[in-house]
Amino acid sequence: MDTISWGQGGLHINTGTCTQCLACLSVCPTAALSSPGLSLPRLLSDLADHPLPVLGCKGQPDNDAHARLSCLGYLAHPEVMVLFALVFPDGLHINLTACSECANSHILDSVTAAHDRLKDIVPSHAVKLIQNREELEYQAPSLSRRQFFTLFRERSASAAAVMVGRLHDGAEQQPYGNKRVPAMRALLLKAIEASPLANYRTIRDQLFGKISFTSDCTRSKRCVGVCPTGAIQSSDANGKLPVFDQTLCISCYSCQSFCRNRGVLVLDNNRTAFK
């Protein structure tokens, strides 16, 4: 549909054909694209208020959910899926029961692919994709004042609530000099640090970018300058290869594109579920 295109002045989005499927957010490594009103920290907080949270879609207001995205296509971002798995160790249901009838039904395969990767990244996760209404365990939040405060005290001590509290400290994009790591990555790094389910090495190898300096590297530092997150930094020693921090690498390919000598290569780690 050519909803997103390059033109004079940069990136153009055709609002007439955009269906708000959020697929673009799932594949944009630098978080240059965003959705109005989407606050991941607030979404996590809203879900953490419930014993078994259900995430739904704003386009299907009649479907049961405790919190909603404009489209569940956002979950095709593997880092988002892993973040939910770490934040909600006691369970999270993703309500996909109406997705097959939606104009954005094309997101189902990609969301499923991102979820399938969880078994290798967070083997003990409790995130479920629900496509049959009979399988959805939804409890409507209808409580008396006394029940509400009892539940509030219980939820405040829940694993999800504790995790969300820690993530709020890292909700903003983290600066590295004049570089910035996307807020999604900053949240995920916080979650990895706080979660007993997280295996840092597995998450790093499965999701984070990785580069290799070849024998053609001339130490020109073009890659250092163009790296948007500060994942590549100058070495303190003259004549040495740049220093690489994999936790900040988002596989944007800027370093490889700007290197005139093919001195740096980005290694494919299948970061995104979209093809």
| Residue 166 pLDDT exceeds 80 | no
User: How much is the pLDDT for 224?
Assistant: 93
User: How much is the pLDDT for 153?
Assistant: 52
User: How much is the pLDDT for 177?
Assistant: 61
Percent of the chain with pLDDT over 90: 59
CA separation for the pair 257, 242 (Å, rounded): 16
Q: For residue 19, what are the contacts with CB-CB under 8 A and spacing of at least 6?
A: 71, 103, 104
Which of 41, 42, 36 lies closest to 71, judged by CA? Answer: 36
Q: Where are the domains of the chain?
A: 4-170, 208-269
| Residue 263 pLDDT exceeds 70 | yes
Is residue 224 within 8 Å of 176, Cβ to Cβ?
no
| pLDDT class of 37 with cuts at 50, 70, 90 | confident
Secondary structure class of 134 (helix, strand, coil): helix
CATH topology of domain 208-269: Alpha-Beta Plaits (3.30.70)
Least confidently predicted of 1-10, 52-61, 77-86: 1-10
Mean pLDDT of 223-228: 94
**Cα-based torsion angle of the residue sequence 163, 166, 167, 170 in order, rounded to the nearest 10 degrees:** -160
Residue-wise pLDDT tens digits, 100-139: 999 999 999 999 999 999 999 999 999 999 999 999 999 8
pTM (2 d.p.): 0.86
User: How much is the pLDDT for 92?
Assistant: 97
Q: Which pairing describes strands 10-13 and 4-7: parallel, antiparallel, or unpaired?
A: antiparallel
CA separation for the pair 174, 182 (Å, rounded): 8
Mean pLDDT of 71-86: 96
DSSP-assigned states of every residue in 223-262: HHHH-SSS-EE--SSTTPPPEE-GGG-----HHHHH-TT-
Give, for 69, the enclosing helix (H) or strand (E).
Answer: strand 67-69
User: How much is the pLDDT for 272?
Assistant: 43
